[in-house]
Structure formats: C-alpha cells, structure tokens
Amino acid sequence: MTKSKTINVKGTEITIFQGETSDYISLTDIARYKDATNTDTIIQNWLRNRNTIELLGFWELMYNSDFKPLEFEGFRKQAGLNSFVLTPKKWIETTNAVGIISKSGRYGGTFAHKDLAFEFASWISIEFKLYIIKEFQRLKDDENDRLNLTWNLQRTLAKVNYRIHTDAIKENIIPKLVEQKETALVYANEADLLNVALFGKTAQQWRTENPEAKGNVRDEASIEQLVVLSNM
C-alpha cells in the first residue's frame, strides 16, 4: 500500500490506505465507533461468525489465486462454536489471505479491502455503513476530479512543448538543409534527442514497450517532466 488518507464519518476518523489497484479501510477505526477501548475484541467477534468466514473465504477465492481453500474449509467448519477464536493475523497466515491486512506500529491496525470493510461496517451499524460509503465515494470523486485536472494540464503542456520544439527546428535547422526530403528525418531525430535525454528512450522504443497506450511518450509524461522538457 502506497499512501493513506482519512475520512470523517459521524465524528470518527477512518484511515484508508490507497494502493495501486485497491483501497483498504481500517477495521480498527470502524470498530472504534462502537467501542474505542475494545477494537481488537470487536473485530475478533466478527471473525468468529460463520457468515463472516464464508464472506472472507469466497472473496479470496474470487480474487486471490494463492489463497488456501483447505485451510478456509477448516475455519468454516469451526465457525460458530463457543470454543472457536480467530484473529486477523491467524486468518492471514493460515490461509494466505490478502483481503485483510494487519499492520503494526503507530499507525497500524487491521485493514480490509473496501468490499469486506463495508460488510464489517454493516455488522457494526447499518446507518454507519451508509455514511462510510457516502464519505468514501466523496473522497474518490475528489480524487478523480484532481486526476482529470492533472491530465488536462499534462496534455496542454505536451502540445505546447511540441509546438515550441517544431517551430525551433523549422526556424533554425530546416532552412540550412540542401534537400527538403531531409525535413521529416530532422524533426524525428531532434525530437528523439530530447526524448532520450529526458525519458531514456526514443519514441519508437516507448511505443514498443507500451503497445496499448493511446498517446505518445510525452502524453504520458508527468507535469514535472513536461516542465523540464519546455526548458530544454
């Protein structure tokens, strides 16, 4: 997981770790809404439930190819018995689960993939779950708005850089050519000179490595890279 943010739900701060492909929400923070002094016990009580074990297991079977189904079945048979106790750490280590993550340290706790975290919130309070979903969606909408703004700025910078570059070639290099047929080659060579300096590869090399991309190497550049390119 790469970074974290928080949402405030009815006065409770809930941490969300945002990875490259998934969001994990703090079960510890959700449990704190019910009882701030016994969060671990609340989570363990939820894990003891047979419906919870089936939810976790079926989710892992859908999304985790390294999940251990036999160990899952063992927990499933014990779930509901008075003697059955299950901690997040035991579930993770025994079944190789990825839907729940146990983090240590100052900002640690038990986190779960949003699919599972919403179900835990529902077990705590249906009303609280709805507020979490509302705030979580607001967070994602804000992120999408910022990403769209960044993307538009990147596109604008890429176009401006391209125009500056081609105009400079046209004014300072092309007039010196003896044969006009060399023009296209000069444009390509000069562009790739900057591409290699900034990105470490030519435009053709980038296209070979990214066959599914719709744009070019400069379309995918960061704002910082495009600013450097404009100064070059």
pTM beyond 0.75, yes or no: no
**Within a domain: 215:** yes
Q: State whether 120 and 151 are in the same domain.
A: no
pLDDT at 17: 86
Q: State whether 210 and 102 are in the same domain.
A: no
Neighbouring CB atoms inside 10 A of 115's CB total 15
Positive or negative torsion for Cα 37, 40, 44, 46 = positive
Q: State whether 222 and 153 are in the same domain.
A: yes
CA pair distance 184, 49, nearest whole angstrom: 69
**Within a domain: 132:** no
Q: State whether 115 and 222 are in the same domain.
A: no
pLDDT at 208: 79
Percentage above 70 pLDDT, the chain: 64
Q: What is the pLDDT along the chain (232 residues), one digit of tens a residue?
A: 557 888 899 999 999 987 777 889 999 999 999 999 999 999 999 999 999 999 999 999 999 999 999 999 999 999 888 889 999 999 999 999 999 998 876 667 899 999 999 999 999 999 999 999 999 888 887 777 666 655 555 555 555 555 544 444 455 544 554 454 444 444 345 555 666 665 676 767 767 777 776 666 666 666 555 555 555 4
Cα–Cα distance list, 169 to 32, 182, 189, 193 (Å): 63, 12, 11, 12
Q: State whether 8 and 104 are in the same domain.
A: yes
Q: Which domain holds residue 23?
A: 3-124
Q: State whether 7 and 120 are in the same domain.
A: yes
Cα 42 to chain center, whole Å? 28
**Within a domain: 10:** yes
* pLDDT tens sequence across 103-121: 876 667 899 999 999 999 9
**Within a domain: 142:** no
* pLDDT tens sequence across 62-99: 999 999 999 999 999 998 888 899 999 999 999 999 99
Q: State whether 101 and 27 are in the same domain.
A: yes
pLDDT at 9: 92
Give the domain-ending residue among 124, 156, 183: 124
Q: State whether 117 and 158 are in the same domain.
A: no
**Within a domain: 178:** yes
Q: State whether 118 and 9 are in the same domain.
A: yes
Q: State whether 98 and 162 are in the same domain.
A: no
Tally of structural domains, the chain: 2
**Within a domain: 106:** yes
Q: State whether 187 and 109 are in the same domain.
A: no
